Amino acid sequence: MTKISEIDAYLLGKEVTSAQWASLMVLVKVTTTDGKVGWGETVSALRAEAVVNFVKKINKVLKGSDVFNVEKNRLEWYKHDFNLSISLESTTAYSAVDIASWDIIGKELGAPIYKLLGGKTRDKILVYANGWYQNCVTPEDFAEKAKEVVKKGYRALKFDPFGPHFNDISKKGLDIAEERVKAVREAVGDNVDILIEHHGRFNANSAIMIAKRLEKYHPLFMEEPVHPEDIEGLKKYRSSVNLKVALGERIINKNQALYFMKEGLVDYLQADLYRIGGVTETKKVVGIAEAFDVLMAFHNAQGPVLNAVTLQFDAFIPNFLIQESFYDWFPQWKKDLIYNGTPVDNGYAIIPERPGIGIDVNEKMLDELKVKGEEYFNPEEPVWVVKGTWKE
């Protein structure tokens, strides 16, 4: 039996780069009694310290458990944490532990996780660029940066053109958003997909106005067009708009995912492994999505460990659409932390073939990167914004 001896969490960070959340990461390390080590990663921005404390509590519950018993271990934590099914902090902390457990399982069996879950259905992973539009304000800013993305070989790119608007959007705001989207479409041409990020911040009426304006630019999808809790608003949006809807990054279990699919509210599911329960829960969600003919486009906006395990899923799932990638816009330390183990080549991510989640972590960097004190906060710009774009 490969028993868990210790579960540790590290809050790591350095310079603020393309976004505030990208300057931090919570790295989780699971160690077994026979010296095996697995790595996971979870949410950072605004919740980092709380999540680190949850990992410490999970350590108390799971110490001495067989690391292979991922289903049993999840149930054990669920038994002790009364609020797992409704707590983002609890679920994200456990997700990282589950990912690290699967990393150990793969290493123990000498295989990357995708081989344990179903093998390959593709040899490389089509990705779309995110994080590329740092400090873009004018349509010309967006157009120039978009051209650079295409020169790197990307065939798809996502961006948020809505500046500081929240809940409502004015006519002026609509005009500016359309100018930005039009500039990007003209810059990249018709053979590159553009994806419109709303960050779940509009009421239904504003989101519908946005869709009517932007429909002619043929976006691949509209991401989180309304507030995530506004189910009636999303139904209104679906009945009024012909564009595809992508959502799911804030879903924290398979039951929530099932609801959106059963109600016909989503075309492309953006589940995130660090929020929804790690590998164990995600493989169930993928199966449900396949049954509803919903394609997967995993949310992937954190760091290099989460990126690696997400690519393992992309390799084997049959219902794959496209993968979000910040990799080329990571701060350098995040790439160095995994020895640049998941590069993007001409718009495709290479599937990690090493056992487990497919990457090694440079533990020598951990002391240098440990964050002390409060995490970074900018009152002038919400934490989820790509840096420098909260302007009109």
Catalytic residue list: 199, 299
- 163 Cβ contact partners less than 8 Å away, ≥ 6 residues apart: 137, 173, 176, 177, 389, 390, 391, 392
Residue whose entry in the numeric block shows the structure tokens 């990208």: 22
Name the token pair of 102: 């699967």
The neighbouring-strand residues paired with 162 are none
